[in-house]
Amino acid sequence: MITRKGMLIDVSKCMACRACQVACKQWNQLPAEKTHFTGTYQNPPGLSAKTWTIVNFIEPEEGQMRWLFRKQQCLHCTEATCVSVCPSGAARRREDGIVYFDQSICTGCKYCVESCPFRTPKFDPIAGTVKKCNFCLDRVLDGLEPACAKACPTGAIVFGEREQMLQVARQRQEVLSKENPGEIPRIYGEKELDGLGVFYLLPEEASLYGLAERPRVPIDKVVFNCAVGIIPGLAVLYGLWRYFGKERPSSEKQSEAIGGK
């Protein structure tokens, strides 16, 4: 029986060492990006086709020296909109919950880019395809954990069977609640959008970490993208119906029509 994989990211343990970023780059052979200082230690500034995971440096209160850290990556949704809107079938979700893109058939239409509620997939203008974290699928198939989880020195990133990871999150939730009476850390992704493959243990509001308090699928974009993908196919079918649906004239009548007789 295939069970769903899951990853717990406990932000209370993250010290922003960025070992996960380096490990991801190294294992997936992703090139470095040329960046420049923009007033924050976060680098690169965001996800891209060359950067599949990044540690966000967040200053929640202006004027106070306080940072919140969050590892950002694909969350491997249960109802993955990237899969539902992909017209080529390049976006796929495995039985174990891992969502990946088949680069050999991706057309770079960017429907997934616009439809993802977390804006994770990114277009690669050089390859002409869309890319994102694939949960180190090659490592997982060999019984190994993703490179980011392997490299994390504090145990902030834990990978395994999803139900087991949720149990780990609940145990850690109890510990943090005892350390800070009256505050119950949130397991973000346990139930949101029917459950995420990657979920967070957040000691503070989700919005402070750059996450929507109540994430939702952008239905308007999904409908638009699906319509754009369906219309050309309908046009082709209509053309075929017009061509084959009527009685074609005989070759003699065609000749007369051409000759104007």
- Per residue in 26-40, pLDDT (tens digit) is 999 999 999 988 888
Say which residue, 231 or 56, is predicted with more confidence: 56
Res. 261: pLDDT tops 50:
no
* CB contact at 8 A, 72 and 54: yes
- Per residue in 179-237, pLDDT (tens digit) is 988 889 999 999 999 999 999 999 999 999 999 999 988 765 555 555 555 555 555 66
* CB contact at 8 A, 87 and 107: yes
Res. 240: pLDDT tops 80:
no
At 253, the pLDDT band (50, 70, 90 cuts) reads very low
Q: Is 57 exposed, middle or buried (0-12, 13-18, 19+ CB in 10 A)?
A: middle
Mean pLDDT of 125-136: 98
Average pLDDT, the chain: 89
- Give the per-residue pLDDT at 224: 53
3-class state of residue 181 by DSSP? coil
Alpha helices by DSSP H, the chain: 19-28, 81-85, 111-115, 137-141, 147-151, 162-179, 219-244, 251-259
Q: What is the pTM of this model?
A: 0.83
- Per residue in 80-125, pLDDT (tens digit) is 999 999 999 999 999 999 999 999 999 999 999 999 999 999 999 9
